[in-house]
Amino acid sequence: MVAAAQKIILSGYYGFRNSGDEAVLQSILDALQKHSQAAGIPVEPVVLSIDPEWTTATYGVKAVHRMKLGEVRQAIYESAGLISGGGSLLQDVTGSKSIPYYLGIIKLAQWMRKPTFIYAQGIGPVNRKLFHPLIKSVFRKCSYVSVRDEQSRQLLQTMGLGRELVEVVPDPVMGLSLPEGSQPLEEITPDTALKTVGISVRYWEQSRKELDAIAQGLLKACGQVPLHLRFLPFHHSSDNEASRYVMQKLEEGIARQGGRISICEDALHPRQMLREVGECDMLIGMRLHSLIYAAGRRVPLMGISYDPKIDHFLERIDCRPIGSTTSLDGGEVAAEVLHLLEAGDDWKRKREPLIAALVEEAEAPARQIVEYFHRKG
């Protein structure tokens, strides 16, 4: 007799065309499918998305509109439980509405007596202290809580949540892989002599001084070695604009130095972007998930810090940011680009054990959630 499928709601920043968050969704779907099949417990994911039609078309799963309360309530009512995460959902840097929304979705499920699970979230910064007791209250009633770094667990401890209630796991995207037998991308031009530097930038500082410093560094590096500069926008369309801001500062100089510039604007599926990153010889990243993609594909990386989450991830793979958006030096960027291109094999060798362990541990939350339903069944 085949067991009935367990409908599980997935709540996160889904459907916004942000490659990092879409990669989180794909990774969670993959891990749930793998472990539910192994346990003989069918799982039917239902995603809360800002664009349900796109999410369904992209991932082949049911989706409902995250802002239509009636649809959300009905989906939760019909479900066996709710997963919140991953990503940086509970933070108030980008505004004061994110925390109430995501906590409200979890609380709604708890009111309906559904088990709730926190899946590898990055918690904070939470600057508004009034949110602290709310987070503690909701998390204490969750069946499982996992966060993606030790700093998130420590922040939850300051809110009064016991350390033993929180598991630290890698970001789920560390477990994202390409299908077996995937072919390398076709070269954009027949010229394969140039090494490729992947570049993921975003707008952050009002003055754009961090983007100016990146442009200066790339010009200096290309003055030493002609390169193919491949811009990889992770959040459409704002990252496209930030990429083109840097590209405009580079075009004339790079062409004169024998290099090339291109931009990938059509990689909307996480695996498309993962493949793009894997084709690079090194990567410069502001977006967290550009760095996670690079680590997962064993591409030497250089991180630029604009948020503690960047520093926390780099620390886990024994790296440090080349600088922050407030104090980035073009000369240091150039020197590190040239160093990583020269010593890439050594970089990979030193970090392979750390990266391999993160990849292995990335599925831990899915395993725990499936085991929960196995026990209940």
Sole residue written with tokens 């299908």? 179
Residues of each domain in the chain carrying CATH 3.40.50.2000: 6-169+362-376, 195-358
Among 282, 298, 283, 284, smallest CA distance to 356 is for: 298
Helices 344-361 & 288-296 angle (0-180, nearest 10): 100
How would you write the pLDDT of the chain (377 residues) with one tens digit per residue? 456 789 999 999 999 999 999 999 999 999 999 999 999 999 999 999 999 999 999 999 999 999 999 999 999 999 999 999 999 999 999 889 999 999 999 999 999 999 999 999 999 999 999 999 999 999 999 999 999 999 999 999 999 999 999 999 999 999 999 887 666 555 444 456 899 999 999 999 999 999 999 999 999 999 999 999 999 999 988 999 999 999 999 988 898 888 999 999 988 899 999 999 999 999 999 999 999 999 999 999 999 999 999 999 999 999 999 999 999 999 999 999 999 999 999 999 999 999 999 999 999 999 999 999 999 87
Residue 187's pLDDT is what?
46
d(CA 93, CA 126): 7
Coil vs helix vs strand at 62: strand
Superfamily of domain 195-358: Glycogen Phosphorylase B; (3.40.50.2000)
Domain 6-169+362-376, architecture per CATH: 3-Layer(aba) Sandwich (3.40)
C-alpha separations of 78 from 59, 74, 270 in Å: 21, 6, 29
243: left (phi over 0), alpha (psi -120 to 50) or beta: alpha
d(CA 297, CA 84): 26
Contact 333, 285 (CB under 8 A): no
